[in-house]
């Protein structure tokens, strides 16, 4: 006779062992109920089932049957069809949030199981990663802010490749960002200006060792006189704002903003695709008006301290002057300076004593204007018109003077009677042509 195989869980095996002791008289029903954490009535019910059906009586009656709370198969197929059509590359969490906005209330775990079965999602495997020491978040908002940029196809194939320059608070995960075409000093100044105007001056700024923030050049003589280290334009602006700069020695050291970019490259890209964002202007507007408010409700955390560590901007912190690119220049005799291969003039009304041949600081501000700083005075600069180019005459010929200057020079061949071709032969002049 073929033996019957019965599958029992660990809890059912423990119950069967205790019930066998009750049947043998080694335990009372009340003692068995206390050991199994059941009521005496439930123990008597299980004993009756074991006497009638044997060990199979302990198998749960719902094993192998579909749950009464299971979602209908037709609903599952409709949801998966929606995922295949619009959210094929979405993760289960983001896809569940998008489906909820359309009226499909499906839990994240249920949708994840459906997507795994349909081949739309592959569960992540555990990978061996290098060990990094865990660091606790800062206590207050504004105590430490991280800043970095991420080049990515944020608009996919609908628009140009952009750089996302972002700043995130370490204590609360609140962030501010903007899209730019290039990762330059001016674009980083724009992002920093947005944070300063919204929240104030943070205590410290944490960045990598990009050349925008860190320089290895030797200290110049002007910096030596001020006993100041060599700084970049961005480092000089942080020093004037009273913000401490901290350099990260590895990408893992600024893991919070690295994880932010990983989340944005998944969520932000797909939500901008659904919103039909195709240009940089539309992307910045969507990021500021729609995505950032939703982020603060979903992902920000409450700091351990309710006190805001940001410091307000004082009257001495004129951002249009601090957040600018500065370079020293010499003023020419005609009160002009050179900048980016072009001459810029100081207006006659702004001319001051001692300005000629003086050293000034030229500031290129974020609005594109150019200013010269001379003895704590700011003088606006105006571009000089380019020299007029000589036009051709109606006949198509160049002017006589210009033609003479541009005439090609031909090789001079002396005639036979030229003194160079006459020589002395035995003390007398002789013609070279007669000696042939």
* pLDDT band of 131, cuts 50, 70, 90: low
On whether the CB atoms of residues 268 and 291 are closer than 8 A, the answer is: yes
Nearest to 87 by CA among 262, 260, 277, 267: 267
pLDDT grade, residue 123 (50/70/90)?
confident
Three-class DSSP category at 27: coil
pLDDT at 400: 57
The counts of H helices and E strands in the chain are 14, 13
Tens digits of residue pLDDT in 175-231? 999 999 999 999 999 999 999 999 999 999 999 988 889 887 887 766 676 677 788
Helices 108-117 and 73-86: angle between axes, nearest 10 degrees: 80
More reliable by pLDDT, 416 or 342: 342
Confidence at residue 216, expressed as pLDDT on a 0 to 100 scale: 79
Lowest mean pLDDT among 154-168, 214-228, 244-258, 290-304: 214-228
Q: In whole angstroms, what is the distance from residue 286 CA to residue 292 CA?
A: 9
**How far apart, in whole angstroms, are the C-alpha atoms of residue 330 and residue 346?**
12
Question: What's the pLDDT score for residue 435?
Answer: 45
pLDDT value of residue 235 = 92
Express each pLDDT in 1-28 by its tens digit: 466 677 777 888 888 888 888 888 888 8
Average pLDDT, the chain: 85
* 67 has pLDDT over 90: no
DSSP string covering 295-338: HHHHT----SS-S---B---TT--HHHHSSEEEEEE--TTSEEE
| Model confidence at 426: pLDDT above 80 | no
Of 41-55, 220-234, 317-331, 404-418, the range with the lowest mean pLDDT is 404-418
Q: Predicted confidence band at 73 (pLDDT cuts at 50, 70, 90)?
A: confident
- Beta strand 204-207 pairing with 244-247: parallel
Instruction: Say if residues 197 and 238 touch (Cβ distance below 8 Å).
Output: no
Given a cut of 60, whether residue 329 has pLDDT beyond it is yes
| pLDDT score recorded for residue 20 | 87
Read off φ and ψ for residue 145, nearest 5 degrees: -125, 135
Among 381, 371, 337, 326, smallest CA distance to 185 is for 326
Would the pTM count as exceeding 0.85? no
Question: Looking at domain 145-298, which CATH architecture does it have?
Answer: 2-Layer Sandwich (3.30)
pLDDT of residue 344: 93
Q: Which residues pair with 49 in a beta bridge?
A: none
Q: Residue 286's pLDDT is what?
A: 96
State the pairing for strand pair 244-247/325-330.
unpaired
For 82-147, the three-class secondary structure string (H helix, E strand, C coil) is: HHHHHCCCCCHHHHHHHHHHCCCCCCHHHHHHHHHHCCCCCCCCCCCCCCCCCCCCCCCCCCCEEE
Q: How confident is the model at residue 58 (pLDDT cuts 50, 70, 90)?
A: confident
Average pLDDT over residues 295-304: 92
Q: What is residue 267's predicted lDDT score, i.e. its pLDDT?
A: 93
Count of Cβ atoms closer than 10 Å to residue 76 Cβ: 17
Task: Name, of 7-11, 129-133, 385-389, the range with top average pLDDT.
Answer: 7-11
| HSE toward the beta carbon, residue 409, CA cutoff 13 A | 2
pLDDT at 151 over 50: yes
| Rg of the chain over all Cα atoms, to the nearest angstrom | 40
- Angle between helices 92-101 and 255-275 in degrees, nearest 10: 40
Local confidence band at 127 (pLDDT 50, 70, 90 cut-offs): very low
Tokens 């199981």: give the residue: 113
Tell me the backbone φ, ψ of residue 400, rounded to 5 degrees. -55, -45
Whole-number pLDDT of residue 393: 54
Share of the chain above pLDDT 70, in %: 86
| Maximum pairwise Cα distance, the chain | 156
Weakest-pLDDT range from 178-192, 312-326, 416-430: 416-430
In three-state secondary structure terms, 263 is helix
Of 112-121, 151-160, 222-231, where does mean pLDDT reach its minimum?
222-231
The pair of structure tokens assigned to 393 is: 């005459």
Of the ranges 33-47, 60-74, 360-374, the best mean pLDDT one:
360-374
**SS3 assignment for 48-84:** HHHHHHHHHHHCCCCCCCCCCCCCCHHHHHHHHHHHH
Quote the crossing angle between the two packed helices 92-101 and 73-86, to the nearest 10°.
Answer: 100
pLDDT digits (tens, 9 = 90+) for 237-287: 999 999 999 998 887 788 899 999 999 999 999 999 999 999 999 999 999
pLDDT tier, 432 (very low <50, low <70, confident <90, very high otherwise)? very low
Whether 394 has a pLDDT exceeding 60, the answer reads no
Structure tokens at 182: 């290039």
The pLDDT value recorded for residue 221 is 67
């Amino acid at each position: 006779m073929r033996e019957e195989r019965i599958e029992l869980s660990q809890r059912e095996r423990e119950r069967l062992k205790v019930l066998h002791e009750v049947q043998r008289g080694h335990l009372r029903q009340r003692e068995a109920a206390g050991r199994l954490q059941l009521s005496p009535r439930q123990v008597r019910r299980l004993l009756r089932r074991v006497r009638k059906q044997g060990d199979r009586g302990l198998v749960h009656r719902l094993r192998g049957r579909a749950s009464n709370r299971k979602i209908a198969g037709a609903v599952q197929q409709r949801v998966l069809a929606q995922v295949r059509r619009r959210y094929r590359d979405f993760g289960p969490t983001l896809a569940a949030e998008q489906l909820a906005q359309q009226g499909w209330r499906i839990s994240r775990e249920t949708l994840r199981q459906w997507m795994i079965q349909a081949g739309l999602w592959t569960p992540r495997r555990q990978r061996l990663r290098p060990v990094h020491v865990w660091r606790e978040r800062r206590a207050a908002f504004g105590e430490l802010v991280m800043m970095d940029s991420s080049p990515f196809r944020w608009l996919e194939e609908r628009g140009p490749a952009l750089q996302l320059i972002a700043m995130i608070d370490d204590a609360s995960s609140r962030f501010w960002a903007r899209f730019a075409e290039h990762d330059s000093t001016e674009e980083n100044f724009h992002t920093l200006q947005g944070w300063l105007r919204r929240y104030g001056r943070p205590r410290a700024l944490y960045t990598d060792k990009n050349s925008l923030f860190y320089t290895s050049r030797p200290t110049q003589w002007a910096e030596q006189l001020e006993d100041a280290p060599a700084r970049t334009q961005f480092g000089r602006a942080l020093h004037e704002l009273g913000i401490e700069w901290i350099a990260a020695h590895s990408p893992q050291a600024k893991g919070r903003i690295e994880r932010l970019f990983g989340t944005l490259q998944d969520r932000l890209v797909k939500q901008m695709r659904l919103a039909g964002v195709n240009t940089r202007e539309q992307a910045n507007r969507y990021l500021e008006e729609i995505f950032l408010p939703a982020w603060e409700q979903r992902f920000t955390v409450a700091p351990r301290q309710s006190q805001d560590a940001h410091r307000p901007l004082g009257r001495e912190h004129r951002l249009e002057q601090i957040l600018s690119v500065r370079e020293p220049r010499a003023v020419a005799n005609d009160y002009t300076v050179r900048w980016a291969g072009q001459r810029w003039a100081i207006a006659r009304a702004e001319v001051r004593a001692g300005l000629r041949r003086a050293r000034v600081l030229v500031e290129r501000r974020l609005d594109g204007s150019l200013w010269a700083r001379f003895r704590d005075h700011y003088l606006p600069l105006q571009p000089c018109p380019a020299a007029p180019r000589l036009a051709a005459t109606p006949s198509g010929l160049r002017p006589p003077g210009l033609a003479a200057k541009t005439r090609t020079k031909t090789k001079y061949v002396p005639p036979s009677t030229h003194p160079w071709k006459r020589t002395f032969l035995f003390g007398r002049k002789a013609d070279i042509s007669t000696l042939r």
